[in-house]
Amino acid sequence: MKIALAQLNYHVGNFESNTAKIIDHIHQAEKLGADLIVFAELCVCGYPSRDFLEFNEYISLCEDAAQKIAAECRQIACIIGLPTVNTNPEGKDLNNSAYFIEQGQVKAIVNKALLPNYDIFDEYRYFEPSTTFKCIDFKGYRIALTICEDLWNTIENPLYITRPMDMLITEQPDVMINIAASPFAYNHDEERINILKDNASRYQLPLFYVNHVGAQTELIFDGGSLVFDRNGALIDELPYFAESVSYYQLDKQSAVVPMQPVTTRTKKDSDIAQIHQALILGIRDYFNKSGFKTATLGLSGGIDSAVVCALAAEALGPENVMAVLLPSRFSSDHSIKDAEDLVKNLDCKSELVPISGITEAFENTLKPQFNNLPFNIAEENIQSRSRAVVLMALCNKFGYILLNTSNKSEAAVGYGTLYGDMCGGISVIGDVYKTQVFELAKYLNRDREIIPINTIIKPPSAELRPNQKDTDSLPEYDILDPILAQYIEYRCSPAEIIKMGYDGDTVRRVLRLVNLAEHKRYQTPPILRVSPKAFGMGRRMPIVGKYLS
């Protein structure tokens, strides 16, 4: 049996595009002699559809699309994923399903049994888990078809009380096929490989695994579809962050032979290299799928805005990036020059809009209310909000989308101005710690100088008052970031972090800042997710909670 794996980039709710793409690849695979082509979990509607799934019409459109796809499967079979109506009146209204289509008809339906309900996943909100398991017979082979999480219960601390494959293996299948929607995090690819390798060796069956690629708002899917032999040896690894289709021959002895040169990596890309690829894909898909073209951002001469500008220029083309220099009376000459040098290096568009007159107008207007009180955070934030007013005015006038340039360290401790530098349409590096931003800048400079060296080596500063440095308000980033990671990513308590050797007063202060800033993070743009625990949909904290505050 010749099997094709189609790792494709879908668009949530774009039935016309998704259906056309699936049908096009069915025809291509048929011409190349494939017996079966496999697409990803919920490929018909895209993942995650979230509360679109609560609309009956949405589910009907999924079924209409599936029937159009079925009509094209005459000489070839296919597996697609879609939400379907739960015919049992008890339980949730929907199933997360896979259709096995052959000879123009849906010959088998498999429903997902293990529904993730943690971090970014919320599938039990919509779907009823399956409790019945049956293999599919096709061309003399018996297929154990599962959906994503159904193979993930082999971990040391199982999340579920059943393993679908334990039941399917009793029917003596010849091969496992798993369709998935597994989002990117910089540490997730190795975990994914190990889980799937364990399944292949545990059940002594070859395993074909198909993942999504592409970004859906803040979620980025990295592809990396996989094929293992029955002993758990990796046969093939599809490209990361790119669409790809690969073909394999499966024989009666369960041997798998790739029909093209294999693409398995000799070594894993560094975390920073993966984050770079993910952010490029995230920016590009956010703009393309939303129908936007041109990005703008405030370019300060600092490292955060420089990195975001460089990423945007790479993702969208420098001609589609408008960098706006917004110097105040506290901006240093070298910061302006650093920003100008970056614009030259990237060859992107730029505008210079000094904000001194704007901030003076605000301060003069508020003079009676400020009543000669000394300069403080109020005047500092007027500068940041003045910049936001200018940037949003340009967005309204010219149709730009504003890129937020806050990093994860700042977002964590609330080191930013609400309705000022925290505004934007999408947060590009909001899941990248400051220490990682420096690494990302060096990575962007791997072939030539893009980020000016002075931008990388100078002490970080918001430049909202004379001689200001970030360290006036925060610990050094090489101390701050590990504390934040232990708390945010690994959910360690203050006592546990202090036991690791960190100063107790510093730990308690940092964690208190994180919790006090929760109200700010609720009002920030979507953040491109690149870590195992990002701010946003995957981290849900009460704003008024007392714990650790």
Active-site annotation, residues: 41, 112, 148
Helix axes 377-398, 356-365, angle to 10 degrees: 120
| φ, ψ at 344 (rounded to 5°) | -65, -45
Residue 272: partners with Cβ closer than 8 Å, 6 or more residues away: 436, 439, 440, 443
- For residues 122 and 540, what is the distance between their CA atoms, to the nearest angstrom? 12
Collapsed DSSP state (helix, strand, coil) of residue 503: coil
Phi first, then psi, for residue 176 (nearest 5°) are -105, 140
C-alpha angle 165-37-126 in degrees, rounded to nearest 5: 55
Indicate the helix (H) or strand (E) that contains 224. Answer: none
Helices of type H across 120-206? 164-168, 188-203
Query: Two tokens at 537?
Result: 């949909």
> Among 264, 261, 265, 259, which Cα is nearest to 4's?
259
- Work out the widest C-alpha separation in the chain, in whole angstroms: 87
Helix/strand/coil percentages in the chain, nearest 5: 40, 20, 40
Please give the structure tokens belonging to residue 154: 């082999």
Token pair for residue 297?
A: 């951002």
What is d(CA 232, CA 193) in angstroms, rounded to the nearest whole number? 10
Contact 309, 299 (CB under 8 A): yes
Secondary structure (3-state) at 16 = helix
Assign 297 to helix, strand or coil: strand
Q: Which two structure tokens, joined as six digits, stand for 453?
A: 């060296």
Q: Please tell me the distance from the alpha carbon of residue 144 to that of residue 281, in angstroms, as a whole number.
A: 33
The answer to whether 370 and 378 have CB atoms below 8 angstroms apart is: yes
Distance CA 96, CA 179 (A): 11
Phi and psi at residue 494, to the nearest 5° = -55, -45
* Rg of the chain in Å (alpha carbons): 26
Contact of 358 with 330, CB cutoff 8 Å = no
The answer to whether 120 touches 101, Cβ cutoff 8 Å, is no
Under a CB-based contact definition with an 8 Å cutoff, are residues 487 and 531 in contact?
no
Angle ∠(10,16,17) on CA atoms, nearest 5: 35
**What is the crossing angle of helices 303-316 and 271-290, to 10°?**
60
Separation between Cα atoms, residue 49 and residue 403, nearest integer Å: 24
